[in-house]
């Protein structure tokens, strides 16, 4: 499964059309496009489903990152110069040739892996982040929205995003299968804990009202506000991602204190909610960045963490409250 021959076989069918086709699916599998999709679901389709999807995606990303760092295994193009970097404007720069696994169940040559670990590359290969992300996101969407056209899109994304990563020379078959396993596991965990747990969902989205100190409430608050700080202990973790998660959770608690909005409204109202949220986030991000730039020549890491937390907190809470005030949302 760590054989480069499988990747080279796929690339033997390469054409300008196929390369453009698979580059499209690779790009659409990046977080750049996931964020707008989650925004649309949150404010335009289902507030509750969108909120849970954010958590599925976030924990899948963290798990995948930790496993990449733990295994520290290279990509096909790192171990075989015969693997082309399709979609890139530069050739494969590796000096290794045919150094993939020698058998289907074999591993990569230890001396090659150790060399690449001592000479760090851009990012590790196993497991495939695109694949785990595609599986976690789109399989979860499948669980929430059981429309025929949604199912078709889900199947297309789950098949072609992983395939694009092999065709473009970025991942082994083992990386893809590992990504499928992680994404599937994440969906199953959330399905059992949240999707089909009516009591937990009711508790999670009920109006908070007065502060409660029962075990369930304490655990939920710990998950929202304490667990993100524990994630910071993970080596090489991007602190801005953790700050975003903390801010998002804090904003949710503020919304929940007065009541979660209903997913009512006509098409125009739903579109208006999405546009308000998008514009508000854009303006808020620029305003806070410019504010900290005026105060600090070189923004300290702690200040950047606080700014990112405030950005997501104010965005999530503020966008929801604005839509409620304008009558686009109802509690």
Tell me the pLDDT tens digit for each residue of 157-170. Answer: 999 999 999 999 99
* Sign (positive or negative) of CA dihedral 249, 252, 257, 260: negative
Average pLDDT of the segment spanning 196-206: 79
How far apart CA 237 and CA 231 sit, in angstroms, is 8
Q: What percent of the chain has pLDDT over 70?
A: 98
Task: Write phi, then psi, for 120 (nearest 5 degrees).
Answer: -50, 135
Structure tokens at 154: 């889900």
pLDDT of 299 > 80? The answer is yes
pLDDT of 304 > 80? The answer is yes
- Chain CA centroid to CA 324, Å: 28
Q: Residue 330 forms beta bridges with which residues?
A: 262
- Please, which pLDDT band fits residue 295 given cuts at 50, 70 and 90? confident
Q: What is the average pLDDT value for the chain, to the nearest integer? A: 91
Q: Give the tens place of pLDDT for each residue, 81-102.
A: 999 999 988 888 888 998 989 9
Q: What is the per-residue pLDDT for 90?
A: 87
330 three-class SS: strand
Q: Token pair 């150094």 is at which residue? A: 99
* Sign (positive or negative) of CA dihedral 54, 60, 63, 66: negative
Domains and CATH numbers, the chain: 1-205 (1.20.144), 211-331 (no CATH)
């Amino acid at each position: 499964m760590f054989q480069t021959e499988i990747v080279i076989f796929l690339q033997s069918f390469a054409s300008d059309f196929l390369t453009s086709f698979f580059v499209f699916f690779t790009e659409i599998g990046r977080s750049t496009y996931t964020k707008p999709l989650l925004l649309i679901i949150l404010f335009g389709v289902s507030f509750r489903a969108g909120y849970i999807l954010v958590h599925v995606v976030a924990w899948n990303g963290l798990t995948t990152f930790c496993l990449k760092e733990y295994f520290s295994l290279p990509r096909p193009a790192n171990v075989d110069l015969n693997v082309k970097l399709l979609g890139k404007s530069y050739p494969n720069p590796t000096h290794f040739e045919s150094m993939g696994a020698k058998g289907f169940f074999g591993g990569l040559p230890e001396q090659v892996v150790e060399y690449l670990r001592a000479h760090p590359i851009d990012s590790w290969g196993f497991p495939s982040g695109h694949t785990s992300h595609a599986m976690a996101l789109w399989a979860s969407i499948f669980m929430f929205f059981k429309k025929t056209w949604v199912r078709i899109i889900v199947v297309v994304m789950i098949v072609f995003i992983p395939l694009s990563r092999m065709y473009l020379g970025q991942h082994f078959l083992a990386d893809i299968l590992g990504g499928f396993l992680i994404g599937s596991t994440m969906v199953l965990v959330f399905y059992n804990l949240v999707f089909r747990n009516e009591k937990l969902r009711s508790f999670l989205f009920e109006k908070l009202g007065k502060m409660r100190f029962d075990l369930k409430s304490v655990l939920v608050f710990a998950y929202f506000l304490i667990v993100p700080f524990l994630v910071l202990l993970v080596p090489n973790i991007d602190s801005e991602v953790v700050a975003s998660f903390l801010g998002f959770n804090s904003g949710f608690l503020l919304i929940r204190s007065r009541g979660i909005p209903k997913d009512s409204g006509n098409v125009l109202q739903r579109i208006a909610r999405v546009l308000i949220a998008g514009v508000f986030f854009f303006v808020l991000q620029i305003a806070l960045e410019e504010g900290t730039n005026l105060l600090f020549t070189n923004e300290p890491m702690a200040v950047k963490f606080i700014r990112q937390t405030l950005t997501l907190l104010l965005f999530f809470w503020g966008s929801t409250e604005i839509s409620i005030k304008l009558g686009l949302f109802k509690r």
